[in-house]
Amino acid sequence: MIGVTYAKGFRAAGVVAGQRTGDGPDLALVVNVGAHPSAAAVFTANRFAAAPVLWSRNVMASGATPTVAVLNSGGANACTGIDGMAQTAATAQQAAEVIGRQSGQVLVCSTGLIGKLLNLDPLLAGVRSAAATMSADGGADAARAIMTTDTYPKTVELDLAGWRVGGMAKGAGMIAPGLATLLVVVTTDALTDNATAQRALAQAAEATFNRIDVDGCMSTNDTLILLASGESGVRVTQDDLAKAVTEACHNLSQQCIGDAEGASHEIAITVEGATSEDAALTVARAIARSNLFKCAVFGNDPNWGRILSAAGTVPPEAAPFEADEVDVSINGVMVCKGGGVGEPREGVVMAGQRRVDVRVDLHAGVADATIYTNDLTYDYVKENAEYSS
């Protein structure tokens, strides 16, 4: 039992539902069958939120406790107007009907090309088929069904003191702060309530998915869901829940970075010596978004000048520091000291290293933060020139 069915009280399935051009599975269903369910969700901040995001936001706002999540790949159902909303509603209604719930308890997620309606009939048939085949062993199938350009399904399983957390994620493309991956479902058999779950999930998202940034692009469909079944019988504190969900989300977000489109390096950018965590994050994000720096990493070039020039675009009020006090280390070698030349760049080993560690010390305070990103490669360009999303 892996992924979303690792914790007790969940059924899942992954089936073919006619949305993809190939024949892989493209519809996942996750059902919380616990007697004491609770739920939480976080959505994209994009102003062109997709129909399923608008729907699912309404579900959460209604105060209901959703116990079902339907997720499809092969189409984002974004920028599809009222017809797109009708498709999402029909999907939720179909799931509610065959599972025996209210449609207001069904969260819907979609991923794929923007601006195209889904193929509704095969989608609804897929929902029926998923409901018929879902099982306590369906986590792996569900994780596979939500993949788009992912090269492998991403799941997580954690054992806590008498309770469990599981999860799945897809997201190798439009990953950015705001919310960092397209679709994530985390499940737990802990006993909790909606308000506690929401606070724990928000905290986890901020510390994990909001700190990975593959290409600075925020999706119209990003959705992160937490479902709790209560089936372990263990009532958890908000802190314990937040800690476990953060660990699960960290694991999944690192898998997303590891499988980012076309990447040859994973880059951890830690900014330390900042006046505040926000200041550290702002500088780290500016570096993570420099195409020049990311190309240099692809070329195994420890180009600290591109790191400084990216950091230098942050306004002083957003991150106070003095240019001539900044140190930069790449893979442990302090190539820049006091804003100038440090150790010889020849000492930095990057070729053959999947992981690149960049540390920038602003020497302005004691706060730090890390953003995770990737290099910019031929393959990133290729995938995104040839694959429509």
Residues found near a copy of itself in the complex (CB under 8 A): 45-49, 76, 78-81, 84, 113-117, 173-174, 176, 178, 215-220, 289-292, 295-296, 298-299, 301, 303-306, 308-314, 316, 323-324, 335-336, 338-341, 376-378, 380-386, 388-389
Question: In the complex with a copy of itself, which residue's Cβ is closer, 217 or 234?
Answer: 217
- Yes or no: say if 215 and 171 are a contact pair by the CB < 8 Å rule: no
Question: In the complex with a copy of itself, which residue's Cβ is closer, 59 or 311?
Answer: 311
Q: Indicate the SS3 state at residue 351.
A: coil
Residue 181 annotated to the active site: yes
Minimum distance between the CB of residue 350 and a copy of itself, rounded to whole angstroms? 12
- Yes or no: say if 290 and 374 are a contact pair by the CB < 8 Å rule: no
Residue 371 DSSP label: E
Question: In the complex with a copy of itself, which residue's Cβ is closer, 99 or 269?
Answer: 269
Question: In the complex with a copy of itself, which residue's Cβ is closer, 65 or 111?
Answer: 111
- Yes or no: say if 167 and 253 are a contact pair by the CB < 8 Å rule: no
**Residue 358, burial from CB neighbour count under 10 angstroms (0-12, 13-18, 19+):** buried
Minimum distance between the CB of residue 77 and a copy of itself, rounded to whole angstroms? 11
Question: In the complex with a copy of itself, which residue's Cβ is closer, 193 or 383?
Answer: 383
Catalytic one among 5, 44, 88, 181? Answer: 181
Minimum distance between the CB of residue 23 and a copy of itself, rounded to whole angstroms? 24
Minimum distance between the CB of residue 57 and a copy of itself, rounded to whole angstroms? 14
Spell out the residues 6+ positions from residue 15 whose beta carbon is closer than 8 angstroms to its own.
Answer: 25, 27, 29, 126, 129, 130, 133, 141, 145
Minimum distance between the CB of residue 245 and a copy of itself, rounded to whole angstroms? 26
Q: Which two tokens stand for residue 307?
A: 């790191």
Residue 324 DSSP label: G
DSSP 64-91: ----EEEEE-SB---S-HHHHHHHHHHH
At residue 264, what is the residue type? Answer: S
Helix 238-258 vs helix 194-207: angle between axes, to the nearest 10 degrees?
A: 40
Q: Which helix (H) or strand (E) holds 335?
A: strand 333-337
Rounded to an integer, what distance in angstroms lies between the CA atom of residue 54 and that of residue 44?
Answer: 10
Active site residues: 181
